[in-house]
């Protein structure tokens, strides 16, 4: 069964809106709110209609995609090749490039794989130089990592730097290298961010921080590049079963973080917190439209849970997140289970 289109939810709100303004019994306010509501409805309906118009001559519209070894980048490359689009696929390893070439051998689009590490200035510059030989239409920033994850008390600044260097600086690095090519052809820049850039999620701080920053960068350059006829778009997937959240890889990262955690922090949280958190972590485990949206949410959790929560007051949002955490069995630090005694004993402002 297909998911409900979010735009149709506006129409479902009409009866409630009419009842509300009727209750106010103010003719001027009624007309004002009614006009505003109709404008919003018209805007969303026009957006919906325009998004169904597709670009023609796809075989002449080349696309460069990073992170094509696995996951979303790999799937996007194959999808574009199915549409007969020329694809320049940036892969981190030759193994990933070879696997992509094999998987796409029967597809109509032309594939050209490029070995590129988005965390390396030299590697990105070399890829850009290679791409100068071809006319660019689109650039898709997709390469990303989750990196070391767990609670902030157990992480170091280096853990954050490693993730930000790929997920944030990687996006900026690739965009800078290819921006002139995209500007010359009035193309598009598409970045695959995450629904984590809408709402913070405990336990994946470095990843969340990096995606917030990447999304902010895209919001800025969208305004700057519109003067050149370049549009910038953000994809916000929810949680999908990709190699980013491979169970063994996630467990190995968590084990490494816990092993390097200071004993004082381990005592504060307790061994059971780590075991429960480890189990919970592993259990959680339209680019060619003529008039594309600025943002796309991908997945039911992204559309119907995280996006609505992002618009709630912070206090209410935190309360809901806490309730969800309890239902899903989120671990609780050992010191919290002991009540207020530990806080009283360690409070430097305690009055005698």
207 among known catalytic residues: yes
DSSP 30-93: HHHHHHHHHHHHHHHHHHHHHTTPBPS-GGG--EEES--SSHHHHHHHHHHHHTT--EEEEESS
| 83, 288 contact by CB (below 8 A) | yes
Residue 279 CA to residue 271 CA, distance in Å, equals 13
Is residue 135 classed as helix, strand or coil in its secondary structure? coil
Is residue 90 classed as helix, strand or coil in its secondary structure? strand
Residue 182 CA to residue 176 CA, distance in Å, equals 10
Q: Residue written as tokens 């902030």?
A: 152
Q: Are strands 231-237 and 188-192 parallel, antiparallel or unpaired?
A: parallel
Element (H, E) at 304: none
Residue 32 CA to residue 236 CA, distance in Å, equals 34
Catalytic residue among 207, 212, 217, 269: 207
Residue 341 vs residues 217, 265, 335, 344: alpha-carbon distances, Å: 45, 17, 9, 5
Retrieve residue 168's tokens: 């944030």
Give the residues across from 114 on adjacent strands.
90
Q: Annotated catalytic sites, by residue?
A: 207
């Amino acid at each position: 069964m297909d998911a409900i289109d979010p735009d149709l939810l506006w129409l479902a709100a009409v009866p409630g809106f009419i009842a509300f303004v009727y209750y106010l019994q103010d003719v001027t306010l009624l007309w004002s709110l009614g006009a505003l509501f109709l404008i919003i409805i018209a805007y969303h309906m026009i957006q919906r209609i325009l998004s169904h118009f597709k670009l023609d001559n796809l075989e002449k519209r080349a696309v460069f995609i990073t992170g094509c070894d696995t996951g979303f980048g790999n799937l996007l490359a194959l999808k574009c090749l199915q549409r007969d689009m020329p694809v320049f696929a940036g892969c981190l390893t030759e193994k990933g490039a070879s696997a992509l070439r094999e998987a796409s051998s029967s597809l109509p689009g032309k594939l050209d794989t490029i070995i590129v590490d988005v965390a390396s200035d030299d590697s990105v510059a070399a890829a850009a130089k290679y791409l100068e030989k071809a006319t660019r239409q689109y650039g898709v920033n997709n390469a990303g990592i989750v990196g070391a994850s767990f609670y902030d008390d157990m992480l170091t600044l280096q853990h954050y730097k490693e993730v930000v260097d790929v997920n944030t600086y990687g996006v900026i690095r690739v965009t800078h290298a290819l921006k002139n090519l995209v500007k010359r052809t009035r193309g598009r820049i598409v970045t695959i961010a995450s629904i984590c850039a809408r709402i913070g999620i405990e336990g994946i701080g470095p990843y969340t921080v990096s995606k917030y920053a990447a999304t902010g960068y895209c919001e800025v350059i969208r305004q700057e590049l519109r003067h050149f006829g370049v549009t910038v778009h953000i994809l916000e997937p929810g949680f999908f079963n990709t190699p980013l959240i491979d169970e063994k890889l996630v467990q190995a990262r968590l084990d490494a973080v816990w092993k390097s955690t200071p004993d004082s922090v381990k005592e504060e949280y307790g061994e059971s917190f780590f075991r429960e958190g480890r189990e919970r972590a592993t259990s959680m485990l339209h680019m060619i439209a003529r008039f594309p949206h600025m943002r796309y949410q991908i997945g039911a959790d992204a559309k119907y849970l995280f996006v609505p929560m992002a618009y709630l007051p912070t206090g209410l949002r935190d309360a809901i997140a806490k309730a969800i955490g309890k239902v899903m069995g989120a671990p609780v630090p050992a010191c919290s289970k002991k009540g207020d005694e530990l806080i009283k004993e360690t409070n430097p402002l305690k009055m005698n």
